């Protein structure tokens, strides 16, 4: 059985958004600037022609992480690695 799956996505849209965040653990949550990022699955490698229809939508409140998508041109491709997480007991 595979230990991880690699999925390739294309940047479709980046919009300004707001999200709840707690940048300082000593302070209450607050609304912060964020980015709403939409990615669509890409057919081809690593899946070949068998790529299923796929969409990932994320609200990213971390400014540094959001910058990767804000600075990228639409159509930029990204790889996402998906792997199982051990269940906490």
Instruction: Quote the pLDDT of residue 35.
Output: 94
Average pLDDT score over residue span 57-65: 92
pLDDT bucket at 49, cuts 50 / 70 / 90: low
Torsion angle of alpha carbons 25, 30, 34, 40, nearest 10°? 80
Three-class DSSP category at 69? helix
Contact 32, 18 (CB under 8 A): yes
This model's pTM is above 0.85: no
């Amino acid at each position: 059985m595979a230990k991880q799956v690699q999925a390739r996505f294309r940047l479709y849209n980046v919009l300004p958004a707001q999200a709840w965040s707690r940048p300082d653990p000593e302070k209450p949550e607050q609304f912060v600037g964020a980015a709403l990022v939409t990615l669509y699955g890409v057919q081809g490698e690593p899946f070949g022609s068998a790529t299923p229809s796929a969409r990932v939508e994320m609200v990213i409140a971390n400014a540094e992480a959001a910058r990767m998508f804000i600075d990228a041109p639409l159509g930029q491709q990204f790889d996402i690695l998906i792997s199982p997480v051990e269940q906490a007991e």
